[in-house]
Amino acid sequence: MKRLKELAKKNYSAKMANSVIAKFPELTDKWQYDYGVVFKGMEYVYENTGNEKYFEYIKRNIDFFVNDDGTIKKYSKEEYNIDHINNGKAILFLFRKTSEEKYKKAAQILRDQLRTHPRTTEGGFWHKKIYPHQMWLDGIYMASPFYAEYATLIGQDEADEIYDDVAKQVILCAKHTRDPVTGLHFHGWDERREQRWANKITGCSPNFWGRAMGWFAMAAVDVLDFLPQDHQSRETILAIFKQLIDALVKYQDPETGVWYQVINHIGRNGNYPEASASCMFAYAIAKGIEKGYLDCSYIEFLERAYEGIIYRFVEEDEDGLLNLNGVCMVAGLGGNPYRDGSYEYYISEPIKTNDLKGVGAFIKASAWVERLFM
Catalytic residues: 138
Find residue 66's DSSP bridge partners.
Answer: 72
C-alpha–C-alpha distance, residues 143 and 10, integer Å: 33
Q: Which residues, 6 or more positions from 310, have their beta carbon under 8 angstroms from its beta carbon? A: 7, 12
C-alpha–C-alpha distance, residues 257 and 268, integer Å: 17
C-alpha–C-alpha distance, residues 1 and 373, integer Å: 10
Is the separation of the CB atoms in 31 and 65 below 8 Å?
A: yes
- Coil/strand/helix, residue 327: strand
| CA neighbor of 222 nearest in space, from 332, 333, 368 | 368
Is the separation of the CB atoms in 207 and 341 below 8 Å?
A: yes
* Phi (first) and psi of residue 10, to 5 degrees: -80, -5
- The CB density around residue 255, as the number of other CB atoms within 10 Å, is 10
* Phi (first) and psi of residue 349, to 5 degrees: -70, 150
Q: Which residues, 6 or more positions from 150, have their beta carbon under 8 angstroms from its beta carbon? A: 88, 92, 107, 110, 111, 162
